[in-house]
Amino acid sequence: MAPGAMNRWTKSLAEARPAAYWLEDPGRPRPEPALTAAATCDLLVVGGGYSGLWTALLAKERDPGRDVLLLEGKEVAWAASGRNGGFCAASLTHGLANGLSRWPDEIGVLEELGARNLDAIEDTVARYGMDCEFERTGEIDLATEPHQVGEMRELYRLMEAHGLADGVELLDAEGVRAQVDSPTFLAGLYDRRGVALVHPAKLAWELKRACLELGVRIHEHSPALSLRRQGAGVTVSTPYGSVRAGKVALATNVFPSLLRRVRPYTVPVYDYALVTEPLTGAQSASLGWRGRQGLADLANQFHYFRLTADNRILWGGYDAVYRYGGQVRAEYDSRPETFAALAEQFFGCFPQLEGVRFTHAWGGAIDTCSRFAPFFGTAHRGRVGYSVGYTGLGVGATRFGAQVVLDLLDGGTTERTALEMVRSKPLPFPPEPFAWTGIALTRWSLARADVNGGRRNVWLRALDRVGLGFDS
């Protein structure tokens, strides 16, 4: 890296606040009061992110008479639900390739359920008048290295073979640069309907509003400390109160589950993002980004990027950082070396934006599992249900996960609970120090693959064979 270039990129970050852009919105709602007494309910939801909010909302829509209470340890949207890129994807399997590799016999059903789920999210936004900047823009996956062009063509052939290419267009370099202009774009796969963009924090806040309007009781600053079966129900304790419920839905995702048996199946991985100042008219024109699509490249250490409502660019991804012991701490939300790398890569992608400043730089933890797609289960004789392991693709899939959890708690078999995806579990991660060593080796191997034409080394091939590994 040339000293002059480092100076330019450092200058672009000089005024960036170490805060999530989305959470500084002036319309941020006041938190609901903490739980300070004993309470009872039919259904207790633990966690005020997307998983918990969708579970509470759908529970009331299914049965308006059901008494639903939701506990949030801090404030709604403060964690992953208010820090992500706002890509609301139809895929339930972290992309078609991952789904085909794990559930080839179900992929048609899973893709259909995912499309219906995204349509239902759009309908919910409209029915409740949710102000969350929902845009059904679609997404373009980008080849930025020669070997990725062939991978993209193969993926498109797989889509065609499985009847899943409707609304998807394969673009050559000229075609993709007509959509968004970057000298790094060699090809693109444009999915016009499979992704919507949202203001992620506003989506969570609006789900909270809808829940309250339907009669859900919400208590923020009320962390759940323990769970135990008590008679015909379950009791969950908080610092200043407790809740006795007939059923419990756990939606704590990246944070340690109240069910110890679930903890080995996920690890927290930190993801980071930057947001620019609003672009000028000339800067916007230099990009030609008129369709406002979401964008993501095909590297193992991939980037995702999009426009905000006020015409900034959010640029995130690349690093996926695991801390020894799976710790989740506020100080990990800032990582200057990653911010500097992201800034360098941003200007490599868009050299015409030289001189643009970043206003925000932040990070947050993602609940990652070894199959890169959520898993589900019950405990305490069906009284407790959970969904976890969304691996960074939970903005849309959490609604599906909420449906699965409610199906499991309500009993009986549905189209969703009959799926092998729902009935199976990923492989657990090993204890320390093996988890840290394995994840570090995997990150190094994926980075090497990116610069070696996509060739996967012996370690990655071994992980592929056993179904355990990190991938984009």
Say if residue 419's pLDDT is above 90.
yes
Q: What domains sit in the chain, N to C, each tagged with a CATH number?
A: 3-22+134-195+267-366 (3.30.9.10), 31-133+196-266+369-429 (3.50.50.60), 435-466 (no CATH)
pLDDT band of 453, cuts 50, 70, 90: confident
Average pLDDT over residues 321-350: 95
Res 301: pLDDT = 87
- At 455, the pLDDT band (50, 70, 90 cuts) reads confident
Q: Is the pLDDT of residue 65 over 80?
A: yes
Token pair, residue 119, equals 């349509």
In this prediction, residues 57-73 reach a mean pLDDT of 98
Q: Is the pLDDT of residue 387 over 60?
A: yes
pLDDT digits (tens, 9 = 90+) for 182-206: 999 999 999 999 999 999 999 999 9
Q: Is the pLDDT of residue 449 over 80?
A: no
Among residues 335, 331, 286, 278, the alpha carbon closest in space to that of 307 is found at 278
pLDDT band at 468 (very low <50, low <70, confident <90, very high): low
Mean pLDDT of 380-387: 97
- Please determine, for residue 123, whether its predicted confidence score (pLDDT) is greater than 70: yes
pLDDT surpasses 50 at 289? yes
Mean pLDDT over residues 2-20, rounded? 79
**Of the given ranges (94-108, 127-141, 398-412, 453-467), which has the lowest mean pLDDT?**
453-467
How much is the mean pLDDT over the chain?
94
pLDDT bracket for residue 461 (50, 70, 90): confident
**pLDDT beyond 80 at 2:** no
- Cis amide bond preceding 26, omega within 30: no
**Angle formed at CA 207 by CA 382 and CA 309, multiple of 5 degrees:** 140
Least confident window among 300-304, 365-369, 380-384: 300-304
Whether pLDDT at 1 is above 50: no
CA pair distance 240, 125, nearest whole angstrom: 35
Q: What is the pTM of this model?
A: 0.95
SS (H, E, C) the chain: CCHHHHHHHHHHCCCCECCCHHHHCCCCCCCCCCCCCEEEEEEEEECCCHHHHHHHHHHHHHCCCCCEEEECCCCCCCCHHHCCCCEEECCCCCCHHHHHHHCCCCHHHHHHHHHHHHHHHHHHHHHCCCCCCCECCCEEEEECCHHHHHHHHHHHHHHHHCCCCCCEEEECHHHHHHHCCCCCCCEEEEECCCEEECCHHHHHHHHHHHHHHCCCEEECCCCCCEEEEECCEEEEEECCEEEEEEEEEECCCCCCCCCHHHHHHCEEEEEEEEEECCCCHHHHHHHCCCCCCEEEECCCCCEEEEECCCCCEEEEECCCECCHHHCCCHHHHCCHHHHHHHHHHHHHHCHHHCCCCEEEEEEEEEEECCCCCCEEEEECCCCEEEEECCCCCHHHHHHHHHHHHHHHHHCCCCCCCCCHHHHCCCCCCCCCCHHHHHHHHHHHHHHHHHHCCCCCCHHHHHHHHHCCCCCC
pLDDT at 439: 86
pLDDT average, residue stretch 428-447? 87
